[in-house]
Amino acid sequence: MSEQQFDVLIVGAGISGIGAAVHLQRDCPGKSFAILEQRADLGGTWDLFQYPGIRSDSDMHTLGFDFEPWTEQKAIADGPSIWRYLHRVAKERNIEQHIRFGQKVMTASWSSETASWTLECSGDDGAHSRYTASYLYLASGYYDYEQGHEPPFEGREAFAGQIVHPQFWPEDLDYSGQKVVVIGSGATAVTLVPSIARKAAHVTMLQRTPTWYAIRPSEDALANGLRKILPDKWAYKLIRTRNVLLQRFIYNRARKRPDQVGEFLHGKVRDALDGEMDKKHFQPPYNPWEQRLCLVPDADMFAALNRGDAEIVTDQIDRFDESGIQLQSGQHLDADLIVTATGLKLAVAGKIAFQVDGAPVAFNEQYYYKGAMFSNIPNLAVVFGYVNASWTLKADLVARYFCRLINTVDARGADFALPYLAPDAKGEAEDAFDFSSGYFQRSMAILPKNGAEQPWKLNQDYLLDRKILLKGALDDGVLQFRTADRAAAPQTRDAALEPAE
């Protein structure tokens, strides 16, 4: 088995991994690193998802990196332009050469004796490789790349047409002239429906529950105007700041005055629809921002509804049959193609089997530390983006914090940093997400714990995290700086990590 050694290993070459590499190169210039990526290309989400119309559902001024202005006209950007942005960053900043493609990380084992991580990877060609490093950075995203969420539908096998999950959209899928039913009402369904509506004979969006829609122009006139008179970097910074503040304001407002925000959102939907707004399709059973708002750029989905190319049906599935879907109301939806836009299957830590000093790690027993590390796991950072704001805001913060941590470990002559939580100090855990979204509810059992208090609490507040991760003292009485000089081989992980005398 081949073996390579680095100072830092990053798992994943999506937004988080590419961003981490750029920060690391800049803030820890002496450190060697590699990015291990299971796929054949970089981009993560923006390389995997290929369904028609794939686009961001938050603005690129906050989904872009803090170090690289987004300069395209559209602020709500299509997948290929995000993919190009990531490739450009990786190329211009010499990150590409550090990526080891086709390397799926299977196991990661920490040894306190050597103060290092050992990773075993399975290659595309079946060959296994070993990598070691002092630090490990998990930029492996939050969902399973191999499986989407597919609820079992009775009679599925009886359907004579094709069934497609958007995560695995066939390149050559021809739906022109076909009757398409898209099951779901989340961001994917709302993106797909208007994109396929013109070519398909008819598209039905079949939803069990309605969603809150936020209608916005895909282009940000102010951003595009500012770029004409200011350097790109300045314009980007201004718009990014405005968007962070605006997003925060709307989120907080929705929490405090849900009726007011709901009425505002409904007002926009009424304006976008030619006919009456039927509340059956547009009144969710929860308040705005209790689940992620569903963005409709340029009201494109409503245009498809107005043209009659698409319709919304709110009902429950009884069963699939040969010609389509039988609904519980008695209605039947004829279909040639069924798209199950039923969501993602969450995955923790890239589905890697972790060990610390010989003991297996169960992530659902670990607490987040400052939303950037885990309790009792040394020299490991993780990116888990916000549910109420763009992912990259958090990814940039975690990367900067991690660089601070590496430099502090070095400055202290230590070998590793450990967010130590004593077994008897583990407090009550709270739901990490005050969110009712299906994929969080389905996955609560596998997700790491969220403490009630800092630093064990996972915040959904970018400005607070900025303070904590960029300005807060690393030495907070919880993070311990240790050297690798202890005789190891302890029986339990907690025993291994108990503070040295």
When the beta carbons of 420 and 433 are compared against ligand FAD, the nearer one is: 433
Choose one: 9-17, 356-364, 444-452, 491-499; the region binding ligand FAD (CB under 6 A).
9-17
Residue among 190, 214, 142 at smallest CA distance from 387: 142
Nearer of residues 375 and 390 to ligand FAD, judged by Cβ? 390
C-alpha–C-alpha distance, residues 26 and 22, integer Å = 6
Q: Which of 9, 13, 304, 497 binds ligand FAD (CB under 6 A)?
A: 13
Structure tokens at 236: 């980007």
Does 15 sit near ligand FAD (CB under 6 A)?
yes
Structure tokens given for 260:
């007011």
Using the rule CB under 6 A, which residue among 11, 206, 294, 469 binds ligand FAD? 11
Coil, strand or helix: which one is 249?
helix
21, 28, 34, 63: residue in contact with ligand FAD (rule CB under 6 A): 63
* Cβ 406 vs Cβ 400: under 8 Å: no
If binding is defined by CB under 6 A, does position 383 make contact with ligand FAD?
yes
Q: Among the candidate windows 194-202, 334-342, 344-352, 423-431, which touches ligand FAD by CB under 6 A? A: 344-352
Min CB(260)–ligand FAD separation in Å: 25
421 within 8 A of 500, measured Cβ to Cβ: no
CB of 356 to ligand FAD, least distance (A): 17
Q: Which residue among 22, 24, 115, 139 contacts ligand FAD (CB under 6 A)?
A: 139
Report, in Å, the least distance between residue 13 CB and ligand FAD: 5
Q: Which residues inside 23-62 make contact with ligand FAD, applying CB under 6 A?
A: 36-39, 44-45, 49, 56-58
Question: Looking only at residues 76 through 135 of this chain, which bind ligand FAD when binding is defined by CB under 6 A?
Answer: 104-105
Using CB under 6 A as the binding criterion, the count of chain residues that bind ligand FAD stands at 32
Give the C-alpha distances (Å, rounded to integers) separating 120 from 37, 97, 240. 13, 20, 39
Q: How far is CA 352 from CA 106, 141, 360, in A?
A: 5, 12, 11
Least Å from the CB of residue 130 to ligand FAD: 14
User: Min. distance of Cβ 224 from ligand FAD in angstroms?
Assistant: 19
The yes or no reply on residue 17 touching ligand FAD (CB under 6 A) is yes
Q: How far is the CB of 104 from ligand FAD (least distance, A)?
A: 5
User: How many whole angstroms separate alpha carbon 338 and alpha carbon 334?
Assistant: 10
Nearer to ligand FAD, 75 or 418 (CB): 75
Q: Are 395 and 385 within 8 A, CB to CB?
A: yes
Q: Answer whether 399's CB lies under 8 Å from 20's CB.
A: yes
Footprint on residues 280-339 left by ligand FAD (CB under 6 A):
none
Residue with tokens 């990590």: 497
State how far the Cα of 285 lies from the Cα of 291, in Å rounded to an integer: 11
Distance, in Å, from the CA atom of 173 to the CA atom of 162, rounded to the nearest integer, reads 10
Distance from chain centroid for Cα 377: 22
Nearest residue (CB) to ligand FAD, 4 versus 407: 4
Which 188-207 residues touch ligand FAD, going by CB under 6 A? 188
**Using the rule CB under 6 A, is 379 a contact of ligand FAD?**
no
Q: Which residues neighbour 417 within 8 Å (Cβ) at sequence distance 6 or greater?
A: 378, 379, 405, 408, 409, 474, 479, 480, 481, 482
59 to each of 76, 184, 216, 460, 497, how far by Cα in Å?
5, 23, 10, 17, 42
Q: Which residues bind ligand FAD (CB under 6 A)?
A: 11-17, 36-39, 44-45, 49, 56-58, 63, 104-105, 139-141, 145, 188, 350-352, 383, 385, 390-391
